[in-house]
């Protein structure tokens, strides 16, 4: 397939058929569009930097090896390109994170080709990719989600390093005796730490503490 030397649009998507087809269909609508081979973060940024497109059409999930593309957005923006996310993902928090990272907008792969072309046209003309209300709604959902996370994790911040380590042990099924042995401390010390962490978390049993930690998505400091 013909390679465009100086594309106005570069498509970064691990769905090879979708990227190639979209590029060709966009050329049919008068856009110089081409695809980036999705191998590594470095090669993507290098290619975008070398080919200097006006717009990068970026898939949000770049496969098992590369994962979400959100961390890539600032580096792509530094090349001078604007980044428009094209995705099948509907998680509003994940979508909002791309806006926060610098994407100008988000379009769904479930939208018709004509609608996607219209958004691309607006972006290339320097207009907004999304309605202001739509963008604010997404960013509001992200703020709400972060506040909820913050509230859920607040009690765990009161734990000392030792209490957190003990809770981490309980989370993987260790007994107080095992935690004591591995930490070279008396079991009575560990039991005292357990009583303290139960009080701080506002629960009455180790089982409840473990359940609370799991529900809150608490991650022990050493493995975070």
Partner 1 sequence: MTTWRPRLAIAVQPTVLRDALSRVLAAADVDEVINLTSIDAATGEHYDVVVVSDPVVDLDADVVITIPAEPGGVGWVEVGGVRVDMHVAGVDVASLPGLLRALDTYCPAEHDREPHA
Task: Give the number of C-alpha atoms closer than 13 A to the C-alpha of residue 13, restricted to the C-beta side.
Answer: 25
Binding-site member from 46, 52, 63, 149 for partner 1 (CB under 8 A): 63
Residues 113, 148, 151, 199: which binds partner 1 (CB under 8 A)?
113
Q: CA-to-CA distance for 83 and 18, rounded, in angstroms?
A: 18
Q: What are phi and psi of 84, to 5 degrees?
A: -115, 125
What minimum distance in Å lies between the beta carbon of 25 and partner 1?
A: 4
21 binds partner 1 (CB under 8 A): yes
- Facing residues of 58 across strands? 12, 85
Is residue 43 a contact residue for partner 1 (CB under 8 A)? no
Q: Identify which of residues 87 and 193 has a Cβ nearer to partner 1 in the complex.
A: 87
Which residues between 150 and 209 bind partner 1 (CB under 8 A)?
none
Query: Taking CB under 8 A as the rule, does residue 40 contact partner 1?
Result: no
Q: How far is the CB of 3 from partner 1 (least distance, A)?
A: 12
Q: What DSSP string runs through 46-73?
A: HHHHHH--SEEEEESB-HHHH-BSGGGH
Among 9, 10, 116, 138, binds partner 1 (CB under 8 A): 116
d(CA 135, CA 84): 13
Minimal distance, residue 37 CB to partner 1, in Å: 11
> Both ends of the chain: CA-CA distance in Å?
45
* Contact residue for partner 1 among 42, 90, 114, 132 (CB under 8 A): 114
């Amino acid at each position: 397939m013909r390679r465009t030397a100086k594309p106005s649009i570069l498509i970064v998507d691990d769905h090879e058929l979708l990227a190639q087809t979209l590029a060709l269909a966009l050329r049919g609508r008068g856009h110089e569009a081409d695809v980036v081979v999705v191998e590594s973060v470095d090669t993507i940024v290098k290619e975008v930097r070398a080919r200097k497109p006006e717009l990068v059409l970026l898939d949000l999930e770049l496969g098992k090896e590369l994962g979400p593309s959100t961390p890539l957005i600032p580096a792509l923006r530094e090349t001078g390109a604007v980044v428009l996310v094209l995705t099948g993902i509907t998680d509003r928090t994940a979508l909002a994170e791309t806006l926060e990272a610098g994407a100008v907008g988000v379009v769904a792969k479930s939208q018709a080709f004509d609608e996607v072309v219209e958004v691309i046209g607006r972006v290339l003309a320097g207009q907004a990719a999304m309605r202001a209300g739509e963008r604010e709604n997404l960013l509001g959902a992200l703020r709400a989600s972060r506040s909820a996370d913050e509230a859920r994790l607040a009690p765990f911040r009161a734990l000392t390093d030792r209490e957190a380590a003990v809770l981490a042990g309980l989370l993987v099924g260790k007994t107080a005796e095992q935690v004591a042995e591995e930490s070279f401390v008396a079991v009575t010390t560990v039991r005292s730490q357990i009583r303290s962490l139960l009080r701080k978390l506002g629960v009455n049993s180790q089982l409840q503490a473990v359940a609370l930690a799991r529900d809150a998505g608490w991650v022990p400091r050493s493995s975070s």
